[in-house]
Amino acid sequence: MPISILSQKRRLAACIILVLTAALGRSSAAQDSHPPEAPKPKPAAEKPVVDKPVAEKGAETDASRFCANVAPSIAEARLAWQAKRLSDLDAQLKQRIADLEKAEASAREWIAKRDALMSAASADLVAVYAKMEPESAARQISAMDDRMAAAILGKLKPGAAGAILGEMEADRASRLAGLIAGDEKKS
């Protein structure tokens, strides 16, 4: 019949207390500051005095037997706890890995969309808009669809793109800036 862990702990504590009590009883007698008295000669008719009472010897042997009996089950309980803890940590690690893999997939998807957006504008077309006046470029880019306009603005130098966005209506400039930054909700 298995013994519950709590009762095992109580028994182990009782075992330790018994052993310590017996050990302290012996060590306190040895540490006494009084010099040991010389043994007195005993008359032959008297029984010899026993160092320890029989009950104390029985308690030590009971405690020793108890400790020997519960030690394997305590070791098993400790191993079971350690195995459960390792299992819990393994599950947490697997969950964290799954979360990181999702984040990595999301980042890869965003990078692919961003690359597709930037590849929509050719280098020659970007060079044409870079040489235009900001007012003229803003009027022409305002007539384009959002993705193409964001691709062109994204390839321009920041100063030129800022000047063009400054000449546009605020709502449209905000949407295009969001697309350039990678915010798909703005489109």
Q: Please indicate, yes or no, whether residues 151 and 72 belong to a single structural domain of this protein.
A: no
187 pLDDT above the threshold of 50 = no
CA distances from 108 to 87, 104, 111, 124, 168 (A): 31, 6, 5, 28, 32
Q: Report pTM.
A: 0.39
- Provide the mean pLDDT of the chain: 78
pLDDT confidence bin for 1, thresholds 50/70/90: very low
Q: Please indicate, yes or no, whether residues 14 and 91 belong to a single structural domain of this protein.
A: yes
Q: Please indicate, yes or no, whether residues 67 and 150 belong to a single structural domain of this protein.
A: no
> Which among 154, 157, 150 is positioned nearest to 172, based on CA atoms?
150
Does 39 fall in a domain?
Answer: no
Q: Please indicate, yes or no, whether residues 84 and 133 belong to a single structural domain of this protein.
A: no
Q: Please indicate, yes or no, whether residues 10 and 94 belong to a single structural domain of this protein.
A: yes
107-115: Cβ within 8 A, 24+ apart: 110/182, 113/182, 113/184, 114/182
Number of folded domains that form the chain: 2
Range of the domain at 10: 5-27+53-108
pLDDT tens digits for 58-83? 556 787 888 888 888 888 888 999 99
Does 37 fall in a domain?
Answer: no
CB 100 within 8 A of CB 132: no
Cα(91)–Cα(67) distance, rounded to whole angstroms?
Answer: 35
- Domain ends where: 108, 141, 171? 108
Does 115 fall in a domain?
Answer: no
Q: Please indicate, yes or no, whether residues 80 and 129 belong to a single structural domain of this protein.
A: no
pLDDT confidence bin for 91, thresholds 50/70/90: very high
Q: Please indicate, yes or no, whether residues 125 and 103 belong to a single structural domain of this protein.
A: no
Q: Please indicate, yes or no, whether residues 142 and 73 belong to a single structural domain of this protein.
A: no
Q: Please indicate, yes or no, whether residues 11 and 59 belong to a single structural domain of this protein.
A: yes
pLDDT of residue 186: 47
**What are the structure tokens assigned to 75, written together?**
């070791």
pLDDT tens digits for 120-175? 667 788 888 899 999 999 999 999 888 889 888 988 999 999 999 999 999 999 99
Q: Please indicate, yes or no, whether residues 156 and 126 belong to a single structural domain of this protein.
A: yes
pLDDT confidence bin for 43, thresholds 50/70/90: low
Q: Please indicate, yes or no, whether residues 149 and 170 belong to a single structural domain of this protein.
A: yes
Residue type present at position 5 = I
Q: Please indicate, yes or no, whether residues 103 and 23 belong to a single structural domain of this protein.
A: yes
pLDDT of residue 51: 53
Does 35 fall in a domain?
Answer: no
Does 46 fall in a domain?
Answer: no
Does 136 fall in a domain?
Answer: yes
Does 102 fall in a domain?
Answer: yes
SS3 132: coil
pLDDT of residue 69: 83
